[in-house]
Amino acid sequence: KSWMRALEIDPEDLSGLFDLLDTGDGNVSMDDFMMGATRMRGPARSIDVAQLLTMVGRLERMMAERPHGAGEGGKAAVAK
């Protein structure tokens, strides 16, 4: 707990931190945790904000290029 306080991370936020660091397999390596926890310290840096804006822009372009109403396999969903 003292290590988390030193990083200015509330120990009660650990579950959320693990969710942020998890790549989808339900596991977070010690190295990924250490790197992620130290990056979470303090306010967002300009590079972090720039990376997020770039990712959001890419996602927006991908969604705009995707046919409307397309479900899995690119087939349009049909309402019954």
Dump pLDDT digits (tens) for 33-74.
888 888 777 677 787 788 889 999 999 999 999 887 655 555
Distance CA 5, CA 8 (A): 5
**Is the CB of residue 61 less than 8 Å from the CB of residue 45?**
no
The predicted structure's pLDDT at residue 72: 56
pTM as predicted: 0.47
Residue positions counted in the chain: 80
For 3-23, what is each residue's pLDDT tens digit?
A: 777 777 777 878 888 888 888
Residue 80 confidence class, pLDDT cut points 50, 70, 90: very low
Q: Which of 32, 8, 5 is nearest to 18 (CA)?
A: 32
